[in-house]
Amino acid sequence: MKDTGTDQKVLDLEKEIASLRERVAELESQLDAKSGHPESGPVEKETNVDQILQANGLTNAEIKRFSRQLLIPEIAVEGQVALKNASVLIVGAGGLGSPSSLYLSAMGIGRIGLIDHDVVDISNIHRQVIHTESRVGVSKVESARNVNSLCKIDIYDTLLDSANAMEIVSGYDVVVDASDNPATRYLINDACVLLNKPLVSGSAVRLDGQLTTYNYNGGPCYRCMFPKPPPSNAVMNCSETGVLGIGMSSMIHNTIPFGNFNVFSKESNKKTIILVPGIIGCLEALEVVKIVTGSKANEPPNMLLFSYKSYPHFRNVKIRSRRKDCVVCGDSPTISELIDYPQFCGSGYNDKPTQWKILDGRSSQVTCREYGKIKAGRIPHVLIDVRDEAEFKIVSLPGSINIPLKNLSEDSPEIRNILTGDPVYTICKRGNYSQMAVVKLKEVYGVRDCFNIIGGLDGWSSEIDSTIPSY
Ligand SMILES: Nc1ncnc2c1ncn2[C@@H]1O[C@H](COP(=O)(O)OP(=O)(O)OP(=O)(O)O)[C@@H](O)[C@H]1O
Ligand SMILES: [Zn+2]
C-alpha cells in the first residue's frame, strides 16, 4: 500500500529545498553586485568568497586551509599572518631542501625562493622526496615547484655564487642552508651576515645530522664556529689506516657523528639514508617557523645533533657565542664583501670528489683500457678491490678480491697468501683510494709491481663495460 503521508512529507521537503536554493542564489547575486562581479559564474563566485580578506589579515581560503594551525595558540592568527608575510630562501633542492620546502610551502610561508643548479638523478629520489621518477633529468627547482597555490615560489635554476648571492639573499627574510659543500656554506654565511639575515643551517651525512641557527639574535655565525674550512686536499689528511682522518671541527662542516666520532671520507659522504635528511630538513623548517613567528629559536645558541645509531637519537650541545675576532661578524671584520669561496675552501660549489694525485705519473698506474688488455689476454695478475665490503657487494669485477683499504695498513698473513708474486692491480670506485692502496702494498708488503687502475669502476663502466652499474 502507498504511504500518502510519507509522500507528502517528501514533497514538502523538496519544496523547502527548492525555495532555499532560490534564496541562496538571490543572496549570491547580491554578493556579486556588491563585489563588482555581476556577470561571474558559480565557480568564480566561490573563488571570490574564498578571497575575501578578513580583518585579521587572512582570506577565507587561508582560514579554511590552515584552520588546524590557527587553533594552536603558538601559531594562531598572528603566527599564520607572520608566515604569510614571510619569505624564505632555500639553498639546495636536494635531501634537506625537499622536506623543508615541502613543509614550509604547505604550512603557509608566503614566498619561497628555491635555488639549485642540478637536475634530478634517479639516485636522488630515495631521499629527495619532492622529486619523483617522472622528473629524472628535469631541473631540480622546476621539479620542486609545487603544491600550494597560496605560496609563491621563486625558482632560481642556477648556482648560488659570489656574483649573485647578495642580490638573491637580500630578497628574503630567512635563509635555509640545504646545500652540501663547504664553499656554499661559507658563501651563504657571509651573505647572511653582511645582509643581517638569520641562517638556518642543516646537514646530513651518512647516518648523522646536525642543525643550528646562525647569525640570529646576536649569536654566532658559521665562521665563528668554523673559522677555517675543512682540509681540501684529502690526501694530506689520510690517517694511518688509509681512511680519511678529519679533526672534529672539520667534521662538523658536514656533521658530528655523536655515537662514535667516525672518520668519513669525501667519497663516502654520499652514503646517506632517506630518513636523516628528512628529519634534519623538517627541523630546518621548524626553526624557520619559530624565527618567523617570534618564538624563541635556538636560544642560547645550540647545535642539535642526530644520530641514527644512538638512542636517544638527539643530543643538544651548547655552542660558542659570537667571536669578537670573527672575520665577518666580529668587532673589526675584515670581510665586507663576498670573496672567492672555492679558492678559500680549496674545493668547488659541489660535493663531487676530486681526482687525487697520490701517485705521480704512469709508473704505478694503468688506464682502464690497458688493464682491459691484461684481463682479456689472461696475463697472470692479482686484482684487489679496496672498497668497503658493502660497496663490493653492490658490484665488482669478476675475479677481483676484496681487501678493504683499511686492512692493508698492517701486515697480515692472509693478505700475504693472496700476493702470489704476480703483478697486483688495485681498483676502487673512482681510482682514489686504490692509489693509496698501491702505496700501502709497496710500503707494508713490499710489492714491486703494483698498479692503480685510473678511474676505477666508474671508468671501467663508462669506457669498457656499460653493464657494470654506476652507483
Ligand atoms: N652553490 C650552490 N648553488 C645551488 N645549488 C647548490 C649549491 N651547492 C649545493 N647545491 C645543491 O644542494 C643540493 C644538496 O643536496 P644533496 O646533497 O641531497 O643532493 P645531491 O648533490 O644531488 O646528492 P648526490 O651527492 O647524491 O649527487 C644539491 O641538489 C646541489 O645541487
Ligand atoms: Zn662570525
- Residue 351 Cβ contacting ligand 1 at under 6 Å: yes
- One-letter amino acid at 229 equals P
Confidence of residue 38 (pLDDT cuts 50, 70, 90): very low
Distances (CA, A) of 274 to 79, 126, 287, 402: 31, 6, 21, 28
Q: In a mutational test of the pocket of ligand 1, which residue from 116, 181, 189 has the highest number of ligand atoms less than 8 Å from its CB?
A: 116
Q: What atom in ligand 1 is closest to the CA of residue 123?
A: 26
Each residue's pLDDT tens digit, 384-406? 999 999 999 999 999 999 999 99
| Residues measured by CB to lie within 5 Å of ligand 2, the ion | 221, 223-224, 326, 329
User: Is 331 labelled as part of a ligand binding site?
Assistant: no
CB within 8 A of 323, min separation 6: which ones?
220, 223, 224, 227, 329, 330
Amino acid at 14: E
- 223/345 Cα distance (integer angstroms): 12
SS3 assignment, position 85: helix
Query: At a CB cut-off of 8 Å and minimum separation 6, what does 392 contact?
Result: 385, 402
**At 458, is the pLDDT very low, low, confident or very high (cuts 50, 70, 90)?**
very high
- At 205 the pLDDT is 85
152-156 and 111-115 strand pairing: parallel
C-beta of 160 in contact with ligand 1 (< 6 A): yes
Average model confidence (pLDDT) for the chain? Answer: 86
Determine how β-strand 208-214 pairs with β-strand 199-205: antiparallel
Angle 275-293/76-85 helices, nearest 10 degrees? 110
**Amino acid identity for residue 108 in this structure:** G
This prediction's pTM: 0.79
> 282: annotated binding-site residue?
no
Which ligand number lies closest to the CA of residue 169?
1
More confident residue, 4 or 236: 4
Q: What is the pLDDT of residue 271?
A: 59
- Output the CA 62–ligand 2 centroid distance in Å: 39
**According to the annotation, is 221 in a ligand binding site?**
yes
Closest ligand 1 atom to the C-alpha of 349?
Answer: 1
Alpha-carbon distance of 301 to 296, in angstroms, equals: 11
106 contacts: CB under 8 Å, gap ≥ 6: 147, 148, 151
Is position 95 annotated in a ligand binding site? yes
Average pLDDT over residues 333-344: 97
Q: How far is the CA of 271 from the centre of ligand 2 (A)?
A: 30
Say how many Å lie between the CA of residue 228 and the centre of ligand 1. Answer: 22
| 3-state SS, residue 305 | strand
What DSSP assignment string belongs to 94-158?
STTHHHHHHHHHHTT-SEEEEE---B--GGGTTT-TT--GGGTTSBHHHHH--S-TTSEEEEE-S
Average pLDDT over residues 16-25: 73
Segment 44-56 mean pLDDT:
80
Q: Flag whether pLDDT at 266 surpasses 90.
A: no
Asked if pLDDT for residue 242 goes beyond 80, the answer is no
The predicted model gives 93-114 an average pLDDT of 96
Tell which residue, 386, 380, 375, 371, has the closest CA to residue 439: 386
Nearest CA owner, ligand 1 atom 12: 92
Pair 190, 339: CB distance under 8 Å: yes
Is any atom of ligand 1 closer than 6 Å to the C-beta of 180?
Answer: yes
Cβ contacts of 166 within 8 Å, gap of 6 or more = 191, 194, 195, 338
Is 0.90 exceeded by the ipTM? Answer: yes
